[in-house]
Amino acid sequence: MKNYTLLIIVAFLCFTSCKKEDKTENLYYSDILLSQVNSGDLAVHGLTYNSSYLIYESMEPYIYNKYTYDSHNTLRKLETAYSFNPLSCVAVSGTSLESDPRKAAISQYSEFEYDAGLRLIKKSTYFINNGNSQLNYYQTYDYASDKIVKLNMFNPQGLLIQYDDYIYDDNGNITRDDQYSNNSGINLIKSVIYEFDNKNNPYQVFACEGDPGIYTNKNNITKETSVYYNGIAESSSNIIIHTYEYNRLDYPVKIDKLDCIYGK
């Protein structure tokens, strides 16, 4: 038990130092931008922002993400590094306790393409294998009234492997996500129904990634009901309830058992 407590303390201190040190980018903070998420005394997510207050880095256990934008502040590249070392910076990328996650080898990246109106139309994700980039999959997007209503996923050969259909409420929240798989024919495999509060969603900073849902919703999910299908018949269902506490700006300071910190 003492060793476990020491591990938490060491990981927390390492994460704090990694989060604040950046020799290549001036970081910016705001009272409405999520900067850290804690589980008890352990930091489990750190976020930094660039001078345009766009997400610049995201650090979670075993995962480090870096975001690159063009001169129009449009996301062009998302780089990801993975680590399986529990003593790396809060278990994010790196190979030792002293490792800087920003110097870890990138093992995956995504590139983004847009139409003339700067709507995301394609996201291509690559793995790096022995220094060579290999396309893993790519996504395309269908729109209605500037909202993504369908996300299509293709394998490197251009075969559709799955897609999601989305339904929105008047606030721009996804209230239903129907997930289909193309395995010997198109089949509905899962439907998720969402309910929301009327407060601000701090995870909208990730909306640029092109993953509709928690990253694009205006409000916070309070209830999600998942229904799974086997063929056309319902096979099982599951309900998850989320609870929140808010600050004076109507942003969550507690999400379930996680504590949210804003600003510097």
What pLDDT is attached to residue 184? 83
Residue 86 — pLDDT band, cuts 50, 70, 90?
Answer: very low
Mean pLDDT of 51-71: 94
The two tokens of residue 126 are 């690559």
What is the average pLDDT value for the chain, to the nearest integer? Answer: 86
Residue 18 — pLDDT band, cuts 50, 70, 90?
Answer: very low
Mean pLDDT of 31-38: 96
Distance CA(168)–CA(217), nearest Å, equals: 9
What pLDDT is attached to residue 100? 56
Q: Which amino acid is at 171?
A: N
The tens digit of pLDDT for each residue in 117-143 reads 999 999 999 999 888 999 999 999 999
What pLDDT is attached to residue 61? 82
What pLDDT is attached to residue 145? 87
For residue 183, pLDDT beyond 60: yes
Residue 87 — pLDDT band, cuts 50, 70, 90?
Answer: very low
Compare 27 and 14 and report the one with higher pLDDT.
Answer: 27
User: Smallest Cα–Cα separation from 43: which of 24, 67, 23, 61?
Assistant: 61
